[in-house]
């Protein structure tokens, strides 16, 4: 059995994230089912799970980075002749992440991965905790519960401040109750966590009496259920015991009282809007979410503008990076407001479909039928996302250094709403993540085939031969064959001095990677690209695909096209704009 942390340190944060993710995974469908406020779009549990998955992944990345440093220190000590008696104590402990490292990673991961109303607010709750726990403040002690008390108070207050029009009976109410209960608890972190959990649990039971939409539906607030689940995981982190069935959380389903294990709840009930209109009154048609790089003053103006455009407005974050969530009728205007404030990216626009509480007259519309087959693809830039979408694929945008988690792929597969799905990860490092997502969706009865594409250009080749009318197995074989017959390469800029298969590179060098390995090191982008292309075409080929990143020179495409035309007869070239895709240039030869 894992050792129970005695203090609030990096290991405790890691354990908490893992336990919270497990709890939300178990409760996801239940929470989706009670999601009624402000929009009954049935994805609260999913959104919360994805938010915590991103937070947990960021924490794991911090530990992995420190493990790598510790491993290097161990190797160095071996060469210096140090005895092993004190190796773990000196190197391992020295390289273990600090509490500040872990909580900052948790908050950042939640911020960039936040989904929906509830996920956005949960991200701000975690950020509020991090502001206290990462501070160099002797009053924020983490061994006697004082730091945790202060962190829970800051979490509740900062989340409420992030919401344009706070409403009682939502996760904000539950968070405040948890902080109030924790403030009166004396003792260690386990004692404080249990007090916060009990306070949140009592507040959750009272939410139907505070919000008419919940009372009409006969449910508690879904977002509040999620927070109770996360706090139950916090109790388990410090005590080794999860609040059990004896401490069950009331869940009103229909109008009959049902008891559910408190360790499993979570949700996304529009914790941040004015009281929801009745379904017949209608409401905004779109949910708009994006990350935004902007200064604080510009974000203040953005809040005012978005508050005029719609409702359910939540803006969380800080230090130049923000997560923006709003419900509007004019999605374009909401995005344009972000452009005026700074640089929006990871833009997600969701149309509230038939049956959603915001859509007037939706009750009489038929439920959208599943299509027979769909393609879901991970793409590295907005330009390729547009190309794949035009070809009929459902896309998941992967930012440099921000690969999608399995939950995000699961959500995309479900969004495709098909009986059969072909999944293109387009990255060798995503194969296991994609396999986990495929396995999870198969449990829902969806037939999923994973084609192990290692580059977006292989995905383009696979998509080009996709024929939905064919038998599923035949289509998958054809797409797999096309992807496998496509050799791939990319150009990138070296970030630091490193050993490579082509020699030693310096920071700023242009690297030409063929099939994932550095094959060429150069100083000029165009010349390096030409060398890489010549090496690839030396083995033959009929088609060259070039995908240009935003940082690639404007003349490189014409130069490479001319090179192919003059030196390789009967080889065609096609050029696409990839946008902010990370790599300067992607090359495919088939």
Under the banding of pLDDT at 50, 70 and 90, the label for residue 246 is very low
Q: What is the pLDDT of residues 346-373, one digit of tens each?
A: 777 776 653 343 333 333 334 456 788 9
Q: What is the pLDDT of residues 519-529, one digit of tens each?
A: 999 999 999 99
Average pLDDT over residues 301-312: 92
Helix (H) or strand (E) holding 373, with range, is strand 371-379
Under the banding of pLDDT at 50, 70 and 90, the label for residue 70 is low
Q: Quick check: 408 pLDDT over 50? A: yes
Cβ neighbours of residue 398 closer than 8 Å, sequence gap 6 or more? 378, 379, 380, 404, 427, 430
Average pLDDT over residues 56-75: 75
Average pLDDT over residues 50-60: 91
Which residue is listed with tokens 């508690």? 220
Average pLDDT over residues 328-338: 86
Query: In b/e form, how buried is each residue of 292-306, taking b as 16+ CB within 10 angstroms?
Result: bebeeebbeebbebb
Radius of gyration (C-alpha) of the chain in whole angstroms: 26
Q: How far apart are CA 128 and CA 152, in angstroms?
A: 8
The DSSP letter of residue 89 is: I
Which residue is listed with tokens 């209608």? 282
pLDDT on residue 580: 79
Report angle CA 342, 348, 349 to the nearest 5 degrees.
110
Average pLDDT over residues 286-307: 90
Cβ neighbours of residue 42 closer than 8 Å, sequence gap 6 or more? 32, 33, 35
pLDDT on residue 358: 38
Taking residue 53's Cβ as centre, other Cβ atoms within 10 Å add up to 25
Under the banding of pLDDT at 50, 70 and 90, the label for residue 255 is very low
Candidates 374, 438, 377, 380; CA nearest to 406 is 438
Q: Quick check: 448 pLDDT over 80? A: yes
Q: Quick check: 72 pLDDT over 70? A: no
Q: Quick check: 582 pLDDT over 90? A: no
Cβ neighbours of residue 16 closer than 8 Å, sequence gap 6 or more? 233, 234, 237
In three state form, how does the secondary structure of 412-462 look?
HHHHHCEEEEEEECCCHHHHHHHHHHHHHHHCCCCEEEECCCCCHHHHHHH
Average pLDDT over residues 475-484: 91
pLDDT on residue 117: 86
Tokens of 450: 């994973």
What percentage of residues in the chain have a pLDDT greater than 90? Answer: 45
pLDDT on residue 81: 37
State phi, psi for 142 to the nearest 5 degrees. Answer: -110, 10
pLDDT on residue 90: 40
Q: What is the pLDDT of residues 200-225, one digit of tens each?
A: 999 999 989 888 888 888 888 989 99
Q: Specify the 3-state DSSP secondary structure of 487.
A: strand
Candidates 234, 222, 270; CA nearest to 121 is 270
Q: How far apart are CA 226 and CA 25, in angstroms?
A: 11
Q: How far apart are CA 508 and CA 219, in angstroms?
A: 57
Alpha helices in 259-330 (DSSP H): 296-309
572 to each of 231, 542, 544, 564, 565, how far by Cα in Å?
59, 6, 6, 8, 8
Q: Quick check: 273 pLDDT over 50? A: no
pLDDT on residue 83: 33
pLDDT on residue 264: 35
Taking residue 212's Cβ as centre, other Cβ atoms within 10 Å add up to 14
Helix (H) or strand (E) holding 40, with range, is none
Q: Quick check: 36 pLDDT over 50? A: yes
Under the banding of pLDDT at 50, 70 and 90, the label for residue 276 is very low
pLDDT on residue 3: 60
Mean pLDDT of the chain: 82
Cβ neighbours of residue 480 closer than 8 Å, sequence gap 6 or more? 451, 462
| Across 100-104, 508-512, 576-580, least confident range | 576-580
Q: Quick one: how far is CA 329 from the chain centroid?
A: 25
Strands 394-397 and 371-379, by their bridges, are: parallel
Q: Specify the 3-state DSSP secondary structure of 268.
A: coil
Mind giving me the DSSP string for 159-205? HHHHBSS--TTSHHHHHHHHHHHHHT--SSHHHHHHHHHHHHHHHHH
Candidates 413, 416, 423; CA nearest to 443 is 413
Q: What is the pLDDT of residues 173-192, one digit of tens each?
A: 999 999 999 998 888 899 99
135 HSE (CA, 13 A, CB side): 16
pLDDT on residue 128: 94
Average pLDDT over residues 284-299: 88
The DSSP letter of residue 540 is: -
pLDDT on residue 351: 67
pLDDT on residue 378: 93
pLDDT on residue 382: 78
Under the banding of pLDDT at 50, 70 and 90, the label for residue 319 is confident
pLDDT on residue 195: 95
Q: What is the pLDDT of residues 91-148, one digit of tens each?
A: 444 467 899 999 999 999 999 888 888 899 999 999 999 999 988 544 445 567 889 9
pLDDT on residue 284: 80
Q: How far apart are CA 545 and CA 457, in angstroms?
A: 7
Q: How far apart are CA 155 and CA 128, in angstroms?
A: 4
Q: What is the pLDDT of residues 15-27, one digit of tens each?
A: 999 999 999 888 8
How would you classify residue 146: left for phi > 0, otherwise alpha for psi between -120 and 50, otherwise beta?
alpha
Q: Quick check: 242 pLDDT over 90? A: no
């Amino acid at each position: 059995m894992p050792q129970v942390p005695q203090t609030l340190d990096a290991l405790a944060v890691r354990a908490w994230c893992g336990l919270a993710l497990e709890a939300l995974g178990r409760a996801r469908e239940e929470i989706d089912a009670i999601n009624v406020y402000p929009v009954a779009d049935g994805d609260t549990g999913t959104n919360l799970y994805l938010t915590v998955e991103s937070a947990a992944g960021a924490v794991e990345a911090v530990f992995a980075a420190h493990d790598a440093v510790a491993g290097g220190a161990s190797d160095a000590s071996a060469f210096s002749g140090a005895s092993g008696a004190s190796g773990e104590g000196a190197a391992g402990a020295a390289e273990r992440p600090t509490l500040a490292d872990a909580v900052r990673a948790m908050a950042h991961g939640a911020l960039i991965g936040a989904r929906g109303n509830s996920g956005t607010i949960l991200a701000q709750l975690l950020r509020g905790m991090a502001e206290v726990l990462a501070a160099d403040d002797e009053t924020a002690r983490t061994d006697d519960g004082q730091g945790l008390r202060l962190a829970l108070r800051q979490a509740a207050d900062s989340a409420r401040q992030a919401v344009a029009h706070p409403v009682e009976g939502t996760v904000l109410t539950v968070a405040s109750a948890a902080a109030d209960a924790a403030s009166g608890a004396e003792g260690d972190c386990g004692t404080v966590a249990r007090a916060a959990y009990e306070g949140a649990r009592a507040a959750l039971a009272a939410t139907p009496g505070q919000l008419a939409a919940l009372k009409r539906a006969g449910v508690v607030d879904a977002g509040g259920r999620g927070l109770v689940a996360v706090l139950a995981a916090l109790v388990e982190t410090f005590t080794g015991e999860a609040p059990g069935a004896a401490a069950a959380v009331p869940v009103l389903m229909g109008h009959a009282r049902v008891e559910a294990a408190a360790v499993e709840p979570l949700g996304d009930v529009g914790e941040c809007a004015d009281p929801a209109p009745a379904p017949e009154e209608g409401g905004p048609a779109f949910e708009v979410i994006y990350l935004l790089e902007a200064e604080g003053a510009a974000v203040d103006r953005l809040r005012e503008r978005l508050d005029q455009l719609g409702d359910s407005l939540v803006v969380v974050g800080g230090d130049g990076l923000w997560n923006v969530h709003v419900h509007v009728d004019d999605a374009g205007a909401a995005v344009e407001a972000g452009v005026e404030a700074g640089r929006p990216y990871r833009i997600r626009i969701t149309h509230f479909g038939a049956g959603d509480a915001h859509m007037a007259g939706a009750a009489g519309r038929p439920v959208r039928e599943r299509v027979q087959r769909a393609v879901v693809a991970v793409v590295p830039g907005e330009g390729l996302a547009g190309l794949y979408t035009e070809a009929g694929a459902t896309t998941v945008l992967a930012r440099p250094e921000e690969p999608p988690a399995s939950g995000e792929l699961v959500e995309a597969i479900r969004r495709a709403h098909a009986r059969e799905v072909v999944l293109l990860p387009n990255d060798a490092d995503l194969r296991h993540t994609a396999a986990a997502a495929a396995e999870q969706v198969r449990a829902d009865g969806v037939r999923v085939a994973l084609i192990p594409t290692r580059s977006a250009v292989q995905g383009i080749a696979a998509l080009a031969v996709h024929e939905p009318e064919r038998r599923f197995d035949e289509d998958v074989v054809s797409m797999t064959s096309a992807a496998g017959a496509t050799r791939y390469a990319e150009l990138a800029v070296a970030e630091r001095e490193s050993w490579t298969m082509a020699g030693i590179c310096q920071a700023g060098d242009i690297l030409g990677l063929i099939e994932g390995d550095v094959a060429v090191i150069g100083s000029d982008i165009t010349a390096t690209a030409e060398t890489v292309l010549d090496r690839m075409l030396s083995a033959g080929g009929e088609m060259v695909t070039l995908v240009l990143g935003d940082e690639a020179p404007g003349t490189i495409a014409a130069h490479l096209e001319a090179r192919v035309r003059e030196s390789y007869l009967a080889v065609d070239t096609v050029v696409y704009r990839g946008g902010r895709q990370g790599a300067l240039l992607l090359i495919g030869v088939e």
